[in-house]
Amino acid sequence: MKKAILLIVAYLLVQLLCGVLIGAGVNLYAKLFAPTGAAPLGMASVPIMLCSLAAMLLVLWKLGYLKNDGRAYATGSPGQLAWGIMGGMGAIVVSTYIVELLPPLPDLMESSFDELQGSWVGIGCICLLGPFLEEVLFRRAVTGELLRHYRPWVAIGLSGVLFGLFHINPAQITGAVLMGVFLAWLYYRTDSLVACTVTHIVNNSLSVWLSTAHPEVETMRDLIGNPALYWALPVAGLAVMGGAVWQLGRKGAAQPEVKTNN
């Protein structure tokens, strides 16, 4: 548990350090070259995120978590991969609807995400680089460390909670906990990051698409409109996710690399 928390703290510190250094650099550049002497809104967001992603990937590489051992980046059998991705899609739908049933929470990161989504590089960070880094950090590193010291369901639950709390933003925490639990379980059952990473990429990409293509939409109910279709989607999502859990959870369906100590 201690090492898992230290890994998360390390990433938060990396983000803070990159924010301070890049922010100071951008402000200095603005004072020297900008006509107004002030940094344009969002000018530092993309370089800060790129810096923190690159720095943390370097840390994970140094610690050996990026090592290609032939398992973590393998797709497994076609059936296993297909069920993993379908289960991930179902989990996205189910978690989205659960969050919508709860009272709305403040979105402290809305302006930051708007700034990042203002450029293709920022979108790439949100939709591709970010998901890959977070899967290596939270599934391969954090979940892997927890599985070495706790029973599987305890480790999976702790991993999901840590993943949710890591996001800090109240509007994201509940959905991140739900998805974190499912992705930790998916990694445990498949012993691979592939289906987890694809799911994470789709989840973030859908979020970016909705916020850019339909900025006026607050909920799935507003987007879909038709009440019958609105309630049919979570039922279908739950059925698909349940099928994936059953298929991947069968004895012999997967051989997790990580073993528990008790």
Report d(CA 15, CA 50) in Å as an integer: 10
Looking at the domain assignment, is residue 258 inside a domain?
Answer: no
Domain assignment present for residue 54? The answer is no
Q: What's the first-to-final CA gap in the chain, in angstroms?
A: 14
Q: Any idea which residue has 């100071």 for tokens?
A: 24
CA separation for the pair 207, 204 (Å, rounded): 5
- pLDDT confidence of 261, banded at 50, 70, 90? very low
pTM for this one? Answer: 0.87
- Residue 39's alpha-carbon distances to 34, 108, 110, 137, 193, in angstroms, are 7, 21, 19, 32, 39
Q: Is the pLDDT of residue 38 over 70?
A: no
Name the average pLDDT for the chain: 85
What distances in angstroms separate CA 111 from CA 3, 10, 41, 115, 211, one per listed residue? Answer: 32, 25, 10, 6, 12
Pairwise CA distance, residues 36 & 29, whole Å = 11
> pLDDT grade, residue 262 (50/70/90)?
very low
Answer whether residue 59 is part of any domain: no
CB of 11 closer than 8 Å to CB of 141: no
Band (pLDDT 50/70/90 cuts) for residue 137 is very high
Which domain, by its residues, includes 82?
A: 68-249
What confidence category does residue 43 fall into, taking pLDDT thresholds of 50, 70 and 90? low
Which carries the bigger pLDDT value, residue 40 or residue 85?
85
pLDDT for position 159: 95
- Considering only 24-38, 86-100, 169-183, which range has the smallest mean pLDDT? 24-38
225: enclosing H helix or E strand: none
Note the pLDDT tens digit of each residue in 184-234: 999 999 889 999 999 999 999 999 998 888 888 777 888 888 888 888 999
- Report yes or no on 74 lying in a domain: yes
Quick check: 1 and 142 in contact, CB under 8 A?
Answer: no
Question: Which has the higher per-residue pLDDT, 54 or 26?
Answer: 54
Number of domains in the chain: 1
By the 8 A CB rule, do 97 and 160 touch? no
Does residue 241 form part of some domain?
yes
Can you tell me the mean pLDDT for 95-123? 86
Q: Does residue 92 register a pLDDT over 90?
A: yes
Which H or E element spans position 175? Answer: helix 170-190
Q: Is the dihedral of CA 118, 120, 125, 131 positive or negative?
A: positive
Residue 45 lies in a domain: no
